[in-house]
Structure 1
Amino acid sequence: MKRKPTFIESISCFIFLAVVVGVGFGYFKIPIQPILILSAAYAAVIALRVGLTWSEMEEGIIHRLKTAMPAIFILFAVGIVIGTWIYSGTVPMMIYYGLKIIDPAYFLVTAFIIVAIVSVATGTAWGSTATAGVALMGIATELDIPLAMAAGAVISGGVFGDKLSPLSDTTNLAPLVVDVDLYEHIKHMLWTTIPASIIGMGVWFFVGLNLGESTATTGNVEKMLNELDSIYNWNLFMLLPFAIILWGAFAKKPTVPVMLLSSVIAVFVGMFSNGFTLIDGATSMANGFNISMIQSNGFDTPAFSETVTSLITRGGIFSMTTIVVTIFCGYAFAGIVEVAGCLDTILDSFYSKVKTVWQLVGITILGSAAIVFTAGVASISIIMVGVLLKDVYLKKGLHTKNLSRTLEDAGTMLLPFVPWGVSGIFYLEVLGVGPGEYWMWAIPCYLCIVFAMFYAFTGIGMAKTSVSEKGTVSKEVNSY
């Protein structure tokens, strides 16, 4: 006979996850995938105790994986884009001219702005960090900019755009769940996003002034430029793959088909501009670009430095398999916990104690963060917390766009900090820096929560409503 799990049973799943991740992944450096499977096994034991069958648990896992498929498609497309954009010379060209133009003192601020613009245009933090971000990390390496700092600025720019772009999936999902106009939602998010970003840029600016005296020697930079010169024949056609991505964004075309179209064009650009073969182009899609492709053309090429070799030997659809496997393992845990009712039990126990506005916003943040750190994606937290708290916000006289804003502040913005989450592993794979290194430099990502709580305490930036007897919004009476 099925029953609702107790609070102790429910919270034990998350305590078990925290312990095994902390000890296994954090201390013993065990790969995260078997740890997630072990956590899913414990959750399955709890699910059996409350009366679920294995078949029902499988259905819960499958349901969760179904919601992850769009993200998986994007991951595979990103892998293809990286491989083909290096093959075509698109990313190396950005690095080449970036090294000539960007001043080390302003690199961090510049990196944030560039990636933010690309992310707003494309609607994806992953796509912007995997293209412009990869190029900027290559520049940071040669300018001796600490990679943790560079990754923090790049990721912050990517998440900034992902949060505010009308093309982003989470930006559309949050207002949809709580019944708010999309552009009202985006406008309301400026309250937390803009000041957090300004503070971040201020910190990066003053830190960057100390980086102005770069320890990178002119000889090292010139050597890298000369090596890239010997591989690629620079021309404006190399920017065509990037232009296609921007066109797709402004034309509101589906993300994955546009990314694949960009990759196909990149293959032809690489063939005609650099003399690479079609077979190598197809191989770049699957396994990424490789330095051997240059030598296979019969050119008398010198041995390349380790920096250039590591920079251009990357990408391909198979480079994303680790992330996809992690998604399957993580969703095994998340699916079982959700179908067993553990999340509902925990959230209900907290929501019953909400008395004030700041407690309500705080519970929204805690609930969203708990689910994000459990599932590793923001969509689940947005849906679950949004549905559960929508009426509570209305009863408190608060417009639900306060809820949609906080869902993104504690969801989209926190994703990069989850080491076992899809985003954390993605950034480690693409940028070469993990959450444990870049977290303190991804300043806007955690300051959004600080501003959310500040507004909750003071009432500033909290839109209010009058509520009808049915608990629906009749009109907005005050918006700070």
Structure 2
Amino acid sequence: MLEQKKYSVDFRVSRWLSLLPLFIFMVACILFFVVFRIYEMDVLAMGGFMALIIGSLFAKNIGKYWESVIKGMSSDMANTLILILIVVSFFGKMMALAGVAEGFVWVGMQLHLTGALFTVFTFIIASLLATITGTSIGTLATAFPLLYPAGILLGADPLFLAGAILSGAIFGDSIGPISDVTIASCATQKYTRKEGFADIGGMVLSRLRYALVAGLISIVLFLIFGGSGQETDLAGQELIKQYSDPRGLIMLIPVVILLFVAVKSQNIYIAVTMGTLSGIAVALPLGILEVADIFTVQDGKLDGFLINGIRSVLGTIAFLIPLFGIMGVLEESGTMNEIINRLANSKLASTARGTEIIIMMGTTLSGICLGGANGPACLMFGPLTDKLGKQKHLHPYRRGNLLSGFASTIPVLIPFSSLFIIITNANMNSLVEEFSFIQPINPMLIPVGTFHPIALFLVFLFAVITGWGRLFEGENGVALKHPEVDCQKKHTA
């Protein structure tokens, strides 16, 4: 029994002091992200390591303490997550460099979209960009200068246009096969009745039902509220023409290949390898990319999407290392087991629905504490979700969907703490200085126009209350709707 296990790490005064590193880490995240507004993952990593050092001072045996840290850092979950982040970084950087955004802008120009229709188009394009490149913040940085000024000139409402860009970034980030949110929600959810973690292809397919419903609700709302009612301007057409290039659409070929291989092989490493190689094979002959865009050395410096991909994830990896070290301390001190037992034996967790409510509240709280950063929130509450969900035999897909889903809802929209709201406002302010026709917007209003996270929260809340999409793990990891009924049928057959 887990309760009888002898744990290797003891703390002075109380076992609950093992939570001190986690508490210090969360305080550091709030200070850097919310108070000081420093959005760098390596800064959070510094906070994590300082938390571990301070925590070690309260351990009875400091040597055993650091052994537990190393054990957490070297866990299968940590290594799997780090490897996936590195591998997918190449594909994401390649797609951003290949001009996929300009290809989508060209489509909008051919369709002559204006007003609310352009706002809907912006939401769809931002969603596709985030899905393909795997980065919500990168999508915000790309989509605002491309679509925001032109959209205003073409009759879109500024508030809802900004909300459409942010909504699309969150939509794509939550379902993209190479996004940190998807990777974290898969690599933290392990099967009980077979080896391995939740596969990304299956997870994405199971997640679409929730994301698409929320997306359709968002589209209807943007269609209703997204137009300003003002006359469109020819200047808007000229502005959008500058950022239009149909060649970027050709790069959808490697995207399709990656998704097909991911679903077929259920192996993200094979899928990303095939996607990256096919992308290079398509882009080089057509002049979309040059060899120097892949790998080049100039003035003693390395450049190209390969090295830039690595650089883009180093901060996240640095963040992961102390986080999993903290998880190791909680595991080896028995605190993690104690928390799981208390939650699992609580009245709320007596049912699958109650367990999912606990996951909802824990994920949301983690996201708020981390300034709305949905990927890190999945990493922080993922191990707890894994253990809690297993108590009720919830399938890894269901656990991962709840984890990523709620991390991408309420925490994203809190105006005084969400890094997404702050970055959205910063992007708009930079355009206010550049274009005289753009007026500043009160950042407190941005959540009002950001429909997708609101719709996604309502969709997942409905799923938890009604059991819609709830899956249980059966023999060999098979997803079952009613495990007890299915098992009885097998025994009577």
Match of 2:85 in 1: 71
Instruction: Quote the Cα distance in structure 2 between the aligned partners of 1:132 and 1:284.
Output: 29
Q: How does 1:178-257 map to 2 (within 5 A)?
A: 192-210=210-228, 213=230, 217-222=233-238, 225=241, 227=242, 239-252=249-262, 254-257=271-274
- In the alignment, structure 1 residue 46 sits paired with structure 2 residue 64: no
Secondary structure in structure 1 of the residue aligned to 2:225: helix
1:154 maps to a residue whose letter is: G
What is the match of residue 410 of structure 1? Answer: 403
Note the C-alpha offset of 1:262.
0.8
Letter in 2 for 1:21: C
How far apart, in 2, do the equivalents of 1:337 and 1:436 lie? 35
Quick one: distance in 1 between partners of 2:39 and 2:132? 27
* Whole-angstrom CA distance in 2 between matches of 1:324 and 1:75: 7
**TM-score for the superposition, normalised by structure 2:** 0.64
Q: Structure 1's 143 and 65: CA in aligned 2 closer, same or farther, altered over 3 A?
A: same
Deviation at residue 40 of structure 1 after TM alignment: 2.7
Q: 1:390 to 1:264 in 2, by over 3 A?
A: same
Amino acid at match of 2:54: V
SS at match of 1:353: coil
Structure 2 matches for 1:297-312, cutoff 5 A? Answer: none
Q: Is the 8 A contact 1:116 1:160 kept in 2?
A: no
1:80 corresponds in structure 2 to 94
- 1:364 CA drift (Å): 1.8
- Superposition pairs of residues 120-131 of structure 1, within 5 angstroms: 126=134
Structure 2: how far apart are the matches of 1:62 and 1:465? 27
2:471 and 2:107 map into 1 onto residues whose CA distance is 46
Are residue 150 (structure 1) and residue 164 (structure 2) matched? yes
Q: Alpha-carbon deviation of 1:142?
A: 2.0
State the alpha-carbon separation in 1 of the partners of residues 243 and 210 from structure 2.
Answer: 41
Q: TM-score, normalised by structure 1?
A: 0.66
Structure 1 segment 272-283 matched on structure 2, within 5 A: 279=292, 282=295
Do structure 1's residue 353 and structure 2's residue 363 form an aligned pair? no
Q: Structure 2: state its 5+ residue gaps.
A: 1-7, 263-269, 430-442, 475-481, 489-493
Q: Shift of residue 68 of structure 1?
A: 1.8
Root-mean-square deviation (Å): 5.1
Partner of 1:329: 318
CA contact (8 A) 1:80 1:260 kept: no
Displacement of 1:223 after TM fit? 5.0
Task: Confirm or deny: 8 A CA contact 1:126 1:158 kept in the other structure.
Answer: yes
More divergent stretch after superposition (3-12 vs 51-60)? 3-12
Residues paired across the two proteins, number:
415
Match of 2:4 in 1: none
| Structure 1: 5+ residue stretches without partners | 289-314, 395-399, 467-471
Q: 1:106 aligns with which of 113, 117, 130?
A: 117
Matches of 1:235 and 1:108, distance apart in 2: 20
CA distance in 2, matches of 1:389, 1:58: 26
> Which amino acid in structure 2 is aligned with residue 410 of structure 1?
L
- C-alpha offsets along residues 342-386 of structure 1, whole Å, 9 cap, x if unaligned? 544444443332345453222122334456666716367445422
Distance 1:475 1:65 in 2: 37
Residue in structure 2 matched with residue 389 of structure 1 by the alignment: 389
**Cα distance between partner residues in 2 of 1:243 and 1:283:** 25
The structural deviation recorded for 1:334 is 0.8
The answer to whether structure 1 residue 364 and structure 2 residue 359 are counterparts is yes
Contact 2:203 2:397 in 1 (8 A): yes
Deviations 1:237-270 (CA, angstroms, capped at 9, x unpaired): x543322322342344612441243135323322
Task: Check if 1:94 corresponds to 2:85.
Answer: no
Quote the Cα distance in structure 2 between the aligned partners of 1:418 and 1:44: 31
